[in-house]
Amino acid sequence: MKSAGAVVAIALAFASGTVCAQTWPAKPVTLVVGTTAGSGLDTIARFLAQGLRERTGQPFLIENKAGAAGNIGAQAVARAAPDGYTAIVATHSTHCINPHVLKGSIDPVKDFQPITTFAAIGFVLLVNPQLPVKSVSELTSYAKERPGKLSYASGNQFGRVVAEWYRQIYGLDAVHVPYKGVPQAISDLMAGRIDFLFADSSLGIATARSGKARALAMTTPKRLSSAPELPTMIESGVDGFVAHGWLALFFPAHTPMEITRKLADLTNSVMTTDAARQFLRKAYSEPMPGSPEFLAKSVVEENAKWGAIVKKAGIEPE
């Protein structure tokens, strides 16, 4: 049986957290973005920040900490005070891919308090337009008939691991060519120096619609409303092939749950509006409302999934 003093202490702690949540935010909140200003992630983060400011009356300030595929920003937030005034606008790659391919990555579970997902972004399988294939099955057959002859590019870690997964499923023998970014990889694809790659949907679909590359399929679980002409990898015959990256918010570990839930609710209210849907549609993305529990579960499951693929591919952390 708890002593009277212990009961009082627990009650005071609960009351303190509740009051803190009621008054939060009492000052500006910093949202760290692990990419440069003007990037796709930065643009979406600024849209979110404006909506949060309108709802709370407090500024949500974007702080760009680019480098190491998002790790610099993630590490800064992991070390920040868990008071609800520093959070990271993170990508799926930062928390579910980087820990397996980059040295010095954060611990995606122990270092953060998950807040919520708010947008979903997929990949599109692009091929050199000169390649005589118009479907995933045709590309697979073409590659199987030419072991070691085809090359695939990657402009980021997630794109590479997705390509490795496709290659593993069919036992394809193809040459990997890494690039510093997706635009450079697509440029060589268009020039015929690369045969295929999985590109972020925002850039990949725009390139395909320009006629400079051919899009075969999306890695999303269902067709995008903004690109209904593109089948999914599952529709194309690759069972269970879903690589659906999310954008999400994380606080440092041990941030009070009351504040966490308040920001999750605010974020979902911003990113499920008609204005947000239209904004995300232009980036070939869609709202993905969530919760602290949903995001925490996703981080664990996705790390297990991609970690296994990375291990099987023999990719050593850089």
Q: Nearest-CA neighbor of 157 among 184, 178, 185? A: 178
Mean of pLDDT values over 165-192? 94
Spatial distance between the Cα atoms of 23 and 27, rounded to a whole number of angstroms? 10
Does residue 17 register a pLDDT over 60? Answer: no
What's the CATH number of domain 4-121+244-313, 3.40.190.150, 3.20.20.70, 1.10.3720.10, 3.40.50.300? 3.40.190.150
Mean of pLDDT values over 77-91? 97
DSSP state of 231: P
CATH code assigned to 123-218 = 3.40.190.10
Residue-wise pLDDT for 236-264, tens only, equals 999 999 998 899 999 999 999 999 999 99
Q: Residues spanned by CATH 3.40.190.10 within the chain?
A: 123-218
Q: Which amino acid does the sequence have at 230?
A: L
Mean of pLDDT values over 95-120? 93
Tell me if residue 263 falls in helix, strand or coil.
helix
Rg (CA), the chain: 21
Q: What is the pLDDT of residue 69?
A: 86
Please tell me the pTM assigned to this model: 0.86
DSSP state of 30: E
Mean of pLDDT values over 74-79? 96
Bigger pLDDT: 8 vs 318? 318
Q: What is the pLDDT of residue 5?
A: 53
Spatial distance between the Cα atoms of 126 and 160, rounded to a whole number of angstroms? 13
Q: Residues spanned by CATH 3.40.190.150 within the chain?
A: 4-121+244-313
CA atoms within 13 A on the CB side of 216: 25
Structure tokens at 191: 């020039």
β partners of residue 120:
246, 286
* Average pLDDT of the chain, as a whole number: 92
Bigger pLDDT: 10 vs 172? 172
Location of structure tokens 């910093």? 30
Show the DSSP H helices in the chain as ranges: 4-23, 40-56, 71-78, 92-96, 98-101, 136-144, 157-170, 182-190, 201-209, 257-271, 274-282, 292-313
Q: What is the pLDDT of residue 1?
A: 43
